[in-house]
Amino acid sequence: MDTLSVELHAQIFEYACVDDGSTARALSLVSHYFHEVVKPYLYQSLVVCGPAQLAALEARLAPLPPHLRRIRHLFLSDIPLSARPKPTPPDPALAASYDAARELLQRVLLRAAPTLETLAVHAGVPYTSTQLLAGVLATPLPRVRALA
């Protein structure tokens, strides 16, 4: 590893970090050197499932400079990985949380917009799916070339 340049390591990491983000996170734990080289690719490819993960992502992205929050591929779902939604009648008391989730989604998409190339959206919760899709469609995404 000592014989390769930083630029070559960076290019290798860029190609390696196209999964759900786990490869970049694992590489960042290998050494201080790897941590620094992989930083621009930590958020290159992400899977975000549910409001809790969306909130955690926004909290991590907010303080970062734009060159370290380069998101190229993003999968969004309103269903948390840990749960399958059960059909329940809409609760008016939850309307505020739906609005908060929409605003959170808007902030994440605006941070991702300058570099986002592919966006996949899974809207599976009947009471939040329209909010999710409306948030996606209301956000200008100039570089998106694939939307699913």
Tens of pLDDT, residue by residue over 47-93, are 999 888 999 999 999 999 999 999 999 999 888 877 665 655 656 66
What is the domain extent for residue 24?
1-42
Q: What angle do CA 101, 66, 26 make, to 5 degrees?
A: 80
- One domain, residues 30 and 60: no
- One domain, residues 60 and 125: yes
**Cβ contact 22:47 at 8 Å:** no
- One domain, residues 116 and 147: yes
In a domain, 147, yes or no: yes
Tens of pLDDT, residue by residue over 87-142, are 556 566 666 677 787 888 889 999 999 999 999 999 887 777 887 888 888 899 99
Measured in Å, how far apart are the chain's first and last C-alpha atoms? 38
Tokens 């999968």 correspond to 75
Report the pLDDT value the prediction gives residue 51, as an integer from 0 to 100.
Answer: 85
- One domain, residues 9 and 33: yes
Report the pLDDT value the prediction gives residue 129, as an integer from 0 to 100.
Answer: 81
- Number of independent structural domains in the chain: 2
Q: How far apart are CA 80 and CA 77, in angstroms?
A: 7
Task: Quote the pTM value.
Answer: 0.83
- One domain, residues 54 and 121: yes
What DSSP element (H or E) covers 126?
A: none
